[in-house]
Structures are given as C-alpha cells and as structure tokens.
C-alpha cells in the first residue's frame, strides 16, 4: 500500500535498555547514551562496535517504561559481547511480520504517536489484524542530519 508497507524481519539480536519514569524524549536521550557506551567498549570484550540503525523505542499503551534498542551489527549477531552495565542487555527478537509507516523530518514523541495512530486507523479500516497494545518507533538518522530524514512506526501483525 502507498501509506504503509508489510515487512518480514528475521530473528535478530538487539542491545537494549529500559528507562522508567521519564518522558519519552528523556528516556530516548538516557537510553541512547547507555547503549552508545556499550558500543564504545563498555562490554565484556571492551570491544568497539559500529553504530547501526535503526534506533528503536518500544511504546506500550498506559506504560511509562520505554525500551530503547540498537540493532546488533551482522558480524556480531552470533555472539555479541555481553554488556557490563547491568541496565543494558542483549535480546533476541523473533522473526515477525511488521506493518511499517515511514515519514520524514525531525520526529518528536508527539509526531511518532500521531503517525502510529494514522497507521493503526489504516490497518483497522483494511481489516488487518495487529497488536494494538504496543508499537515501536524507529529512527535512522544522526541528530546532525538536517535533510531527507527517515523515521518509522512499527506495528506487529497478528
């Protein structure tokens, strides 16, 4: 469809952290730095790991916890170094079919919520079953990139 796409993602490992009791914007900031430090060598092997995209944030209805994640690069998927920060963990996300809506510009929590609502409305109108109680935000650009920015919201297909 022109207003969303359905993607099939394979099982993959992500490095994640959960930030509790903060605004989404503050949780993203804190989570980003915790994960960035992991990539910079705050891990068992003191190994530097390349930054990957997207950076995702799990948003659950009525929940003030935000799970921020970086995709583990392909060369480390088999055995990513374990984090040394107890707030950072490696998770394996199972293969899934995901409905994706893309948009440009600088994405605020409000803009992500608005785009997620648009996607949810489209999916309901088309009779597409999806998990409505959570969605992911996905950001692909450095804060220093000013033009042609790429952001997404993801709902998992039921």
Domain limits, the chain: 5-156
C-alpha 95/C-alpha 50 separation (Å) is: 23
C-alpha 134/C-alpha 156 separation (Å) is: 8
What predicted TM-score, i.e. pTM, was given to this entire model?
0.95
Greatest alpha-carbon pair distance for the chain in Å reads 49
Residue 6: CB atoms within 10 Å: 12
Task: Retrieve residue 153's tokens.
Answer: 């919201």
Q: Which pLDDT belongs to residue 142?
A: 87
Q: 5-156 belongs to which CATH class?
A: alpha beta
List the one residue out of 82, 89, 77, 74 whose CA is nearest residue 31: 89
**What would the pLDDT profile of 92-103 be if each residue is shown by its tens digit?**
999 999 999 999
Which pLDDT band, with edges at 50, 70 and 90, does 144 fall under? confident
User: Quick check: 150 pLDDT over 90?
Assistant: yes
Span 31-57, average pLDDT: 96
Tokens 């374990």 correspond to what residue?
Answer: 82
Span 32-52, average pLDDT: 96
């Amino acid at each position: 469809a022109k207003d969303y796409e359905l993607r099939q993602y394979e099982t993959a490992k992500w490095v994640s952290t959960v930030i509790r009791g903060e605004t989404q914007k503050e949780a993203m900031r804190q989570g980003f730095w915790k994960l960035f430090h992991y990539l910079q060598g705050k891990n068992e092997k003191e190994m530097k790991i390349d930054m990957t995209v997207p950076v995702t944030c799990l948003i659950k209805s009525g929940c003030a916890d935000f799970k921020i994640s970086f995709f583990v690069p392909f060369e480390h998927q088999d055995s990513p170094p374990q984090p040394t920060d107890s707030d950072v963990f490696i998770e394996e996300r199972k293969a899934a079919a995901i409905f994706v809506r893309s948009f440009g510009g600088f994405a605020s929590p409000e803009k992500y919520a608005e785009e997620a609502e648009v996607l949810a409305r489209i999916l309901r109108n088309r009779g597409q079953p999806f998990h409505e109680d959570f969605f992911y935000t996905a950001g692909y650009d450095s804060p220093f990139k000013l033009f042609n920015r790429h952001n997404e919201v993801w709902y998992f297909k039921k």
